[in-house]
Structure 1
């Protein structure tokens, strides 16, 4: 006769196994997210999800893990750091000739990395239980991973809506393992944002419309990754050289000043995505795009949106004949892309006029001073 399972001891083992698999922290919570449902409904009612129709389609299922996976009693929440060494935030954002890619997307697709580790964790738990049903999730199903992470004690929800940890900041991925065993739960941690609104004030497009609420329709990450059609013209100049995602709200967060670097080489930048010249990226045909983004989260946006985003960035760059030529050569592929190219060309022409005025100003000033001196002599 087997002894009854000690769930307290098992929970400790799960955390040790999780860390051995490369997760920096493992927490456990129940499935009750009823307090999140009114906030989720208000967010949907305000249309803050934009064109992400699946958000509304699944509705409150997102707050009910036990309905998503019947029989679920606990959620094992994990986090894994992804900040790469020498992230080069300022050097890339400060050079309009380069393309800025969100730091999470410079390496291998995190969905695959975390999901594989979570599956191994589930199998490890299963081998120590008489019977266990589990299911791993990594941003791949209608589940509110951030409230679950907060409930499991991995951190608190910041005003930018991301999870913040006192030791690790917010540069980490989240994943969940839904299980049907009554493990002991962890306690949430105290919020640490206080009166700080740095993330709200730094956002280029004012997407954080109130503390903890992001209007996705204004967010550069949504505009460059999720939005399939035309980027609203009002946001294009504000995007600068950001061609895939945006990290501004994280970069300015005080809790990220001492954030640890990732231990996963999979999240280190691919050479051709690290401080990449815009014109080089723009020159990729579809085959090259697919080849160079294989195994990368960037691949999901497809070649058209890749060119659309870079067209906007080129429009925001200082005038160069090479940029004008590259833009002209891309015309005729797609009507929506053509609209962004035409916008970028118009911006480039404006920049050229500004440059010409800037060059002529000193000459004009010298001429005016010379005339003024002549008039003085004549007087």
Structure 2
């Protein structure tokens, strides 16, 4: 299973092609659009999300509500393109026209791809870099993840997410799964404790007033995963490695951990390893879940817990020092329309990126041409955990 996205932040559309989805999977576009809507929400978002109404159009690979087994193409229209039609159009324009539109960017933003991308691809107008490096591309990735969530639901695998921390203000480390699921999306910062939610809003407002931005930590949980998905045999088949690569590929994500994560370094092994237990109903299971459902690069049947760290967004309304690439003189960095905090939205993106990593691993583990074949293999693997 793989996908490829294309499109620029202010171009006409984002396009994604997904290959490897089994045939006969029932897909409703409204289920995908429900996930797209979640990505647009969250306290601290900028004006762009008031312009866009992200919905997906499926243009190939699905017929009469069911997948064909062929590549699935989805399109997300950028409504804001109407305001950028000339500057982001395909037809050539003169340097004078470009200058008159005040859209040429020569002052790179610290922490963004602007400067290095300009060097690498020899772009003197850094807009050519930021249009593709923008987090707008994650709308296409959420569409892919939403499709994967439809697949996972058919396999009785649940995946959900929350915000753990914003700007140093922390929610509780762990909740039981029922409390977690019962309180999803209860507020606009995606935490479970309402008192903590208000403190986070205040922190976001403070950053916005100061022309600054703040980051945080998000958490994704995958439940009812069959055992043994992934492998210890080769580094590139380890499930935690694949999930980690996906998470840190999200714009502004700078770290990932599993289960108790970096706290494991503070404790002895006797308090971190999860004891193996058995009963005839569940088969093998663990008495705790400090390791986050992963051992030796494989799923162990316990909930997979993924924590992702997002740095503050690099676009600041009170910009940092930079250098003009043409004159080499000191300037303040370019200001682009942006969010003061995108952590709640990023939790949705992370959830869908993990959904793809899980779906991809499952389809490699249980190679299947159609959904019925895949379901049967999953049933057999779950039975193996009892009978082994």
TM-score class normalised by the smaller sequence: under 0.3
What is the TM-score normalised by the length of structure 1? 0.22
Which fold has the larger relative contact order, with Cα–Cα distance below 8 Å and residues 6 or more apart in sequence?
2
Q: Compare CA radii of gyration and give the structure with the larger one.
A: 1
More strand by share: 2
The two structures have a TM-score, normalised by structure 2, of 0.21
Q: Which has the higher helix share?
A: 1
